[in-house]
Structure 1
Amino acid sequence: FALSRPNHTLNSTGGGCPWDVSEKARLCRFLCYGSEGDVYTAREEGQVSMESAGALLSLLQEGRGAEVVEEIKRFTQDGRAVGLGPSFFALALCSQHSELKTRQAAFKALKEVCRDPAHLFAVIQNKKELKEGMKCGIWGRALRKAVSDWYNEQDAMSLAAAVTKCKQREGWSHQDLLRLSHTKPANEAITLISKYVTKGWKEVHAVYADKENSEEVVKVLSYLEVVEKVKHSCDETEVINLIEEHKLEREQLLTDHLKSKQVWRALLKEMPLHSLLRCLGKMTSNKILEQGSADTQAVCDRIQNEATLKKAKIHPYSILLFSENYKRGQGYQGKTKWEPDSSILKALDSAFYKSFMNVEPVGKRIVVAVDVSTSLSSIVPGSSVSTAVAAAAITMIFARTEVDTHVLAYSEGALVPCSVTADMTLTQATVELVKIPGGSTDCTLPITWATENGKAVDMFIILTNNPLWAFTASPVESLRKHRQKTGANSKMVMCGLTSTGHAIADTEDRGLLSICGFDLGALSVIHNLAQDLI
């Protein structure tokens, strides 16, 4: 995507036409966050249904199915979607459309969209649910071939790990899929995995034990043998050795194994960073991570290691959520409690700043306008983050990663000086924002300010924890005036940090979106809108 040039306009003088919400834009919103409307509600993983997929259905009716499949691929592969559920639903729908070209495109895309077994099971379940009302089954020749190809085109060792880590989901297992698709394995190693899944280890062992096997088959065989050994082992030392030697993961162990601190310590060494951050509270509570211990030191080193952070592509806002939750000393279900370790908190703080390198800049001219009332007690729903800290973090993310960012604050119906700068720490930025007294929220002030000062802005990001949003003028009208005066393709995102489903107004302007609450998905939505993807 080309970065916008200062004089680049999208026919902004010709009235509202280019800003109408097209069917394609509605489809992209649906793929991004499961709804075609102009409101994204954080943490809402709702059931996707036909009712929310109107644009998808009408594009299919217009014979634009191949285009739809391209969009599905784009949203799943670039990590642009908040969740993958809507894409799996859309792919399943395309795969049983009446037009042959659409069906072919969907089946061809199956292996690109479904990167692991859980994805594959989800698409198959969606197909089953979509067929419920129809009399025919889903296992036609095209699906059988697509599923067979999915298994046959995997690297054998990756497939062996995948089938032992994710055995079943959504009521489907690998056994079901291999049987129903009549998969003919493409090579000896896939034959072995297929036999293991359908017949079990005993039979595999009987067939392959005395055979002359190729190098790849020997590797897969010994890996599966290790997985089986762990499943039947009650010997803590043996389990630990197998984990360390073969990089086994938590999903391949028994629940009983996870009662052992030593087993957890062995898992820790290779545990993916996301999983590690998710388990910090549990491991502190279970005394696996004790103050001043070598394990705690090793975990702290990993959390703030730049190469590890880069490889995990972890976002600073994600680290903030883990950090605030860890600080809280209690899990969401309320059972697990822990005393937060100060060295872990320090490491998380350091990781927060280092992970800014993982933020992909959108290269636009941005204004972040903050209205945070003095009440620090309000929390962003579904998280442990106060609205002031969330606003400071969001401000910093844009100030540190976008070259052209202005930070404004507004209060009591007027813009007030705000001295948040890119080089501040999160604590300093939060303190700056909290100094500002809260008042009634006039969300159009930042747009008016930019228009009057002749500052062309591509993206207004307006943050408030005021549940009532007031406007002296219509946001759509203010935005249109700004576009006309500056020639910019200006867009606006209204983030109600404590809101639970409030929209700006029912607007048909593609450049306006409302966000209720805030999570990592909200940042994807802002990025997608800035880059004209939704």
Structure 2
Amino acid sequence: MKPSGSSGVTNNVPSPSENHALNSADGACPWEVSDTARLRRFLCYGSESNIYTAREESQLSMESATTLLSLLQDGQGCEVVEDVKRFARDGRAVALNPCLFALAVCSQHSEQKTKQAAFEALKEVCTCPTHLFAFVQYKKELKEGMKCGIWGRALRRAVSHWYNEQDAMSLALAVTKCKQRHGWTHQDLLRLSHTKPASETIALISKYVTKGWPEVQTAYADKENLEEVVKVLSYLEVVEKVRHSCDETEVVHLIMEHRLEREQLLTDHLKSKDVWRALLKEMPLESVLRILGKMTADKVLEPGSRDMVAVCERIQSEAALKKAKLHPFTILFASENYKRGHNCRGKVKWEPDISILKALDTAFYKSFMNVEPVGKRFAVAVDVSTSLSSVVPGTSVSTAVVAAAITMLIARTEVDTQVLAYSEGAIVPCTIAADMTLTQATIELVKIPTGMTDGTLPMTWATENQKAVDMFIVLTNNPCWSFTASPVESLRKYRQNSGIFSKMVMCGLTSIGHAIADTEDRGLLSMCGFDLGAMSVIRNLAQDLI
């Protein structure tokens, strides 16, 4: 990566024939927002608009999914289901609820092929009980508006298949870890679906869910059971034993031996430090990051202790980071929250431990290996005309740190990246380099003098210097997009001059709801605030998916 003022840059603009040619005389974008793009926006972040609002859970309804309905009416239901599967399977959705909602709508459509495709996709999209419960609840909420029933033959068959096609031990864990969500229980679903178990082990788990452990004990006590049935019986016996145990030593032993999880324990068990120490050994790494503050406050993790050393080693283990597929921003937000020394309400307080902070810092840089390059030409422009000392809403992270981290992430993962800073009505020297630490990059940004905001400067710079850019990422603290000129018009002029269909994301790091423009240009997106989901949105836009 070369800073804006460097010489010897070789990525000049290629001829229009090598790119998406723009055929409009006034430079307007020929790529209007298609119905497919609107659908994929909905699947990605729950809205068909070109505005992504961080940390906002969209209210899903038929009114918010008009394009979905239109595509179904046009006979494109099977294509819709394929998109749902793609966004759910590949982790392209910020949250899975829009995908589950869309799948529920497809499953209740009158066209038989669409309905069949939706139910066949159920297991692939609903990978855990929480997803399955949410899907069924969406179907219940849609019942009145779509004038259809819920528990017809197709849903009964699909839910039955969901249970019957599970690995027995995985299902035993699922039904004991997640008993109910969204007003539904496993007992409800097994009863309403009239599930006929496809194997002895599924029959055992079904009886356990619907009749309880005493009935299971009676039914299987005197039988000569298959090896797999014995295995599941033993596991369920352990779960029942731990739920009725008041012996802390016994609970710890059962957790360690059978890898029990905290959702399978009683609330009273979680008052024990030793129980938490046992849970931490096998707890998913992302869950560990979320409770570091509480574990420090409760002295489960004490300075210099064996447990502290083990947790720190795991946090910065490349194998553990790769297995958990943790994104750098997941670790950054966890680190900043831990560094703050109290939870969001301030009720739980702790003294941040230096060894944990060092482990998180190391993990942040190592986790860059989990980010797959997009393979596009990026220009990341940071607006330093206003102070970067404010905090991104909903986080404990300053806008300067977030801006530096976004810049670092793209510069380290994308081969062709230009980093710009603009202030005082011009691009200003910015010597951020890919091999800098986050602290160094942040210092580099905040030392630049503030001045006048002009969001057109990145595109103007690229035009004047004949730079080939596929994706402009403009980061600003200005919440109202009060630019003296239109960044949208500047982008269109750049496209006309370069022959490249460039896209632009205007990210207002402190914005809570303003959009850069009400436009039908598919290559323009506004972001209000910032969270981990924003990186998924940027990635999807860069790859022409939304």
TM-score tier (shorter): over 0.9
Give the structure 2 partner of residue 440 of structure 1. 452
Give the structure 1 partner of residue 161 of structure 2. 149
Give the structure 2 partner of residue 254 of structure 1. 266
Summarize the alignment of residues 145-294 of structure 1 with structure 2, pairs less than 5 Å apart: 145-294=157-306
Q: Which amino acid aligns with 1:118?
A: T
Summarize the alignment of residues 9-408 of structure 1 with structure 2, pairs less than 5 Å apart: 9-14=19-24, 16=28, 18-133=30-145, 136-373=148-385, 375-408=387-420
CA distance in 2, matches of 1:150, 1:141: 14
CA distance 1:49–1:438, shift in 2 (3 Å) = farther
CA distance in 2, matches of 1:6, 1:81: 33
CA distance in 1, matches of 2:465, 2:543: 25
Q: Secondary structure at the match of 1:495?
A: strand
Deviation of 1:27 (Å): 0.3
For the 8 Å contact 2:432–2:444, the answer to whether it is kept is: yes
Q: Which of 488, 491, 497 is residue 476 of structure 1 equivalent to?
A: 488
Which stretch of the first structure deviates more once superposed, 126-135 or 48-57? 126-135
Give the structure 2 partner of residue 465 of structure 1. 477
Q: Secondary structure at the match of 2:382?
A: strand
CA distance in 1, matches of 2:149, 2:37: 33
Which stretch of the first structure deviates more once superposed, 439-448 or 87-96? 439-448
Q: Which amino acid aligns with 1:439?
A: G
For the 8 Å contact 2:32–2:522, the answer to whether it is kept is: yes
Deviation of 1:19 (Å): 1.6
Give the structure 1 partner of residue 511 of structure 2. 499
Deviation of 1:5 (Å): 11
Q: Secondary structure at the match of 2:427?
A: strand
Give the structure 1 partner of residue 465 of structure 2. 453
TM-score where L is the length of structure 1: 0.97
Give the structure 1 partner of residue 9 of structure 2. none
CA distance 1:458–1:523, shift in 2 (3 Å) = same
CA distance in 1, matches of 2:438, 2:148: 58
For the 8 Å contact 2:160–2:190, the answer to whether it is kept is: yes
Gaps of 5+ in 2: 1-13
Q: Secondary structure at the match of 1:408?
A: strand
For the 8 Å contact 1:306–1:354, the answer to whether it is kept is: yes
Give the structure 2 partner of residue 533 of structure 1. 545
Deviation of 1:465 (Å): 0.9
CA distance in 2, matches of 1:327, 1:471: 35
CA distance in 1, matches of 2:76, 2:463: 40
CA distance 1:110–1:260, shift in 2 (3 Å) = same
Please give the root-mean-square deviation of Cα atoms over the aligned residues, in Å. 1.4
Q: Secondary structure at the match of 2:121?
A: helix
Deviation sequence 1:195-239 (CA, Å, 0-9, x none): 000000000011112211111111111001001000000000110
CA distance in 1, matches of 2:237, 2:100: 34
CA distance in 2, matches of 1:167, 1:373: 52
Q: How many residues align?
A: 531
Q: Which amino acid aligns with 1:170?
A: H
Deviation of 1:484 (Å): 2.2
Deviation of 1:480 (Å): 1.9
CA distance in 2, matches of 1:492, 1:256: 52
The alignment status of 1:519 with 2:531, answered yes or no, reads yes
For the 8 Å contact 2:455–2:485, the answer to whether it is kept is: no
CA distance in 1, matches of 2:100, 2:178: 18
TM-score where L is the length of structure 2: 0.95
Deviation of 1:137 (Å): 3.0
Deviation of 1:475 (Å): 2.5
Deviation sequence 1:299-330 (CA, Å, 0-9, x none): 11000000000010001111000000000011
CA distance 1:134–1:316, shift in 2 (3 Å) = closer
CA distance in 1, matches of 2:240, 2:18: 61
For the 8 Å contact 1:372–1:388, the answer to whether it is kept is: no
Deviation sequence 1:432-475 (CA, Å, 0-9, x none): 00011222321111011101111110000000112232334432
Which stretch of the first structure deviates more once superposed, 483-492 or 251-260? 483-492
